[in-house]
A = this chain, B = another copy of it.
Amino acid sequence: MISFKNDYSEGAHENIINLLVKSNLEQVDGYGEDKYSSLAKEKIKKIIKNDNVDIHFISGGTQANLTVISSILRPYESVIAAKTGHICVHETGAIEATGHKINEIETENGKLYPEIILPVVEAHSDEHMVKPKLVFISNSTEIGTVYTKEELVNLSEFCKNNDLYLYLDGARLGSALTSEGNDLLLSDLANLADVFYIGGTKNGALLGEAIVIINNELKENFRFNLKQKGALLAKGRLIAIQFVELFTNDLFFKLATHANLMAKIISDEIKELGFEFLTDSKSNQIFPILPNKLINKLEKDYNFYIWQKINNDTSAIRLVTSWATKELNVDRFIEDIKKYME
């Protein structure tokens, strides 16, 4: 079986493994107060061109989202998110479990725009309703779409004007930043968001996300929140080492570029064969709409999710490529599609 099910089926890039092995017996301080944590933070600060940020490493995306959001909001404040957002669907109510409502917005492409946020803000006018205070977005989104720089600039400005914080979930930020046509830089985010996180788990790390807090108001005592949510690893070095290597010699971008390229090859071929897609994705998640008969045949040798029934004969499937996807397997997959279509 070959898996296109997700981007976390393998371990980590060998550079990361190598540093893990090499540093293994060094004695360092616990809870992220070690030299690798310092080094990883420096590297990130350099690449985002901003020294005045706080960086914290955390083991996964749900943990990042719940810790960041609950640290920001007062009890009656809410989050605004696209209905397809990870926090709305796939985190088992993690945000609500910290006490906060999510105002979910139906979107066309998984992205939020000022014009669809404004009515939600305006509708929440008094103390009988929650007070929206934070806008949650993902880039790339949960359905593979990517924000342009202009879209983010507009969103950022809108948030500032409406007393809203902007938080970006970057579980697949690498893929977004290296996607075809992307004009956004990692350093732009440090000007546009109040907080964001850089995803490691889905881009070649064993585990780990790097939370970057830009807005000074949101920095204070953040480690208390980490500890309370069980997110402060005793051996903090473990996550730090992932980011030391991801941000050495542009590994982070190289791995994401590879993932995108693998997706593009599949995507281009499937288009060529005349099939449609559920969403317009330039990132490492693509959603081709295929005949069920074809899908059934592919399932024998490939792992992937059937995402959505389209009609009685066709369904959209989700294919995810990663830093570790072999071009060989991509080629085989395409050949099999062609074979099964004959």
A: residues with CB less than 8 A from B are 1-3, 5-6, 8-12, 14, 17, 20-21, 23-31, 59-67, 70-71, 74-76, 78, 89-94, 96-102, 104, 127-131, 201-202, 206-207, 221, 223-235, 237-238, 324
Chain B residue with minimal CB distance to A27? Answer: B9
**Inter-subunit contact A76/B225 (CB<8 Å):** yes
Q: Is the interface of A mostly helix, strand, loop or mixed?
A: loop
> Contact between A228 and B92 (Cβ–Cβ < 8 Å)?
yes
Task: Look across to chain B and name the residue whose beta carbon is closest to the beta carbon of A324.
Answer: B25
Given the interface contacts A17-B20, A235-B11, A238-B206, does A92 sit within 8 Å of B127 by beta carbon?
yes
> Which B residue sits closest to A34, measured CB to CB?
B9
| Contacting pair B12 A230 (CB below 8 A) | no
Q: Which residue on B lies nearest to A71, using beta carbons?
A: B75
- Give me 15 other A-B pairs in contact (C-beta within 8 A), A127-B221, A201-B235 excluded: A1-B27, A11-B238, A17-B21, A59-B233, A63-B230, A65-B230, A70-B75, A76-B93, A91-B228, A93-B130, A94-B227, A101-B102, A127-B224, A207-B233, A207-B234
A221 surroundings in chain B (CB, below 8 A): 74, 76, 127, 131
Nearest CB in chain B: distance from A9 CB, A: 4
Which residues from chain B contact A234 at a C-beta distance below 8 Å? 6, 8, 60-61, 201-202, 207
